[in-house]
Copies of this chain bind each other. A is one copy, B any other.
Amino acid sequence: MQQYTEPISRLIKAFAGLPGIGEKTASRLALYVLNAKGGYADELSAAIGDLKEKVMLCRECISFADGETCGICNDPARDASMVCVVSDYKDLIALEAAGSYRGRYHVLHGQLAPLKGVGPDEIKVVELVERVRAGGIEEIVIATAFDADGETTALYLKKVFAGSDVRLTRIAAGIPMGGHIEFMDGSTLGRALQGRQEA
């Protein structure tokens, strides 16, 4: 049986390494790249090749950046006294897309997961402690997920900064916009009640 010729099957194998891309889709993508016009293959190859070289971690907030510091840390209009802690770069992008936050960030690049062996040394906590020690930060907004690992991480941060002058807050848990009370699960309703505010 004749297989795809070597350079094609090599690319199929590489594409099939991507999450959610099976053998069949990988073949389709590889043949698309082969037949694509206008330097598309060169651009895709260069974009991937440059990625690891050009993407750095921001010295301040450990977010991905294309220089020593990221666009947010460089922006004098952003409130440097407020730091929102997220576990992942994707969370930062989502919060930025929401558009209402005007402070800075700190990306942990992970969440504590004792059962998976992810301890404090595996996430960027030391960097946050050092930032706080350097001064200028008045509030840390914890925006880790509301699942077991996210809550564990939030609790851990609370413990780390207990006794410091920094105000520690957690973004609110509750019913999402457009959510109907009758369809919400019990723990969400419990958190929403617990977090009730003056109307």
Contact = CB atoms under 8 A, between A and B. Distances in A.
Interface of A: 1-8, 10-11, 13-15, 17-21, 25, 27-34, 36, 40-55, 64-66, 70-72, 89-90, 92-93, 96-97, 99
A26 B28 CA distance: 16
Nearest to A42: B49
- Nearest 3 A-B pairs (CB), nearest first? A45-B48, A45-B49, A7-B54
Q: Name A's interface SS.
A: helix
Given A15-B44, A34-B51, A42-B49, A71 B7 contact: no
Nearest to A96: B2
Contact of A20 (B5, B8, B25): B25
Contacts of A89: 31
Nearest to A56: B5
Contacts of A54: 6-7
Given A41-B48, A49-B45, A55 B5 contact: yes
Nearest to A2: B96
B18 A32 contact: yes
B11 A48 contact: yes
A4 B93 contact: yes
